[in-house]
Amino acid sequence: MRILVVEDERRMANLLARALGEEGHQVVVALNGLEGFEIARSAAFDLIVLDGMLPGMDGVAVARRLRERHDRTPILMLTARDTSADIVRGLDSGADDYLTKPFSLAVLLARVRAVSRRGAIPRLPFLEVGDLRLDPATRRVTRHGEAVSLTPREYSLLELLMRNAGRTVTRGTILDSVWGFGASVNENTLEVFIGQLRTKVDGCEPKLIHTVRGAGYLLEEPKE
């Protein structure tokens, strides 16, 4: 599964990322609530492991805002607040499960496995911008009806841009969402991947992938 971990304590975030990675999951880490919300709304995940006490925007606010956007991604909330009122508040905000700190890593992994057994979250049948089409179920990409062969990283990058069609996606959001927080990747590497994606996807008119100087990248059809 693709899992977003939102946890402000670096040691705990690294521990969760390592444990989930060893279970075969792809993990992206955010270190505060606002960053976690931005990444969650910009990319697709199968599960969000969300700390309840976060700087800037706490876990309850993150969960509530995601549910207001009709984001149905399962949320497992982690927190040191263990009163009945706190648990009710967390669940009412949109969390699907609740685990109080300190917790057993084995129990957390069992909860994650339980989520995976529920099956995939229903998603849009496909993403489409102009004549560019991406099917999340089969990971098939076509342009002008012709298949486009992408590497897994190129596919993740394109899916992120298409899910945010018409909006600028910052370089930081791309690096965190596609490569994972803390990955040893610089902006030059991102530019190389954008160049490869343009060669494969944007080798015909109209051009869909645009650079927003000083900010990031934007995928949209040219306006008439």
Is residue 111's pLDDT more than 60?
yes
Separation between Cα atoms, residue 59 and residue 32, nearest integer Å: 9
Per-residue pLDDT tens digits for 38-51: 888 888 888 999 99
Give me 9's structure tokens: 């304590």
Separation between Cα atoms, residue 151 and residue 6, nearest integer Å: 27
Q: Where are the domains of the chain?
A: 2-117, 127-219
Separation between Cα atoms, residue 137 and residue 63, nearest integer Å: 25
Which range (1-5, 134-138, 152-156) has the least confidence?
Answer: 134-138
Q: Average per-residue pLDDT in the chain? A: 85
- What is the dotted CATH code of the domain comprising 2-117? 3.40.50.2300
CATH architecture of 127-219: Orthogonal Bundle (1.10)
- Long-range contacts at 109-112 (CB < 8 A, ≥ 24 apart): 109/19, 109/20, 109/23, 111/76, 112/1, 112/3, 112/20, 112/23, 112/25, 112/47, 112/49, 112/76
pLDDT at 181: 59
Average pLDDT over residues 171-175: 84
Q: From the CB of residue 125, how many other CB atoms can be counted at a distance below 10 Å?
A: 9
Average pLDDT over residues 159-170: 88
The answer, yes or no, to whether the previous bond of 102 is cis (omega within 30 of 0) is yes
Which range (100-104, 122-126, 178-182, 200-204) has the least confidence?
Answer: 122-126
Looking at residue 54, its amino acid is: L
- Bridge partners of 144? none
pLDDT at 224: 62
Separation between Cα atoms, residue 119 and residue 162, nearest integer Å: 24
- What H or E segment, with its residue span, contains residue 107? helix 105-117
**Contact between residue 25 and residue 61 where contact means Cβ atoms under 8 Å apart:** no
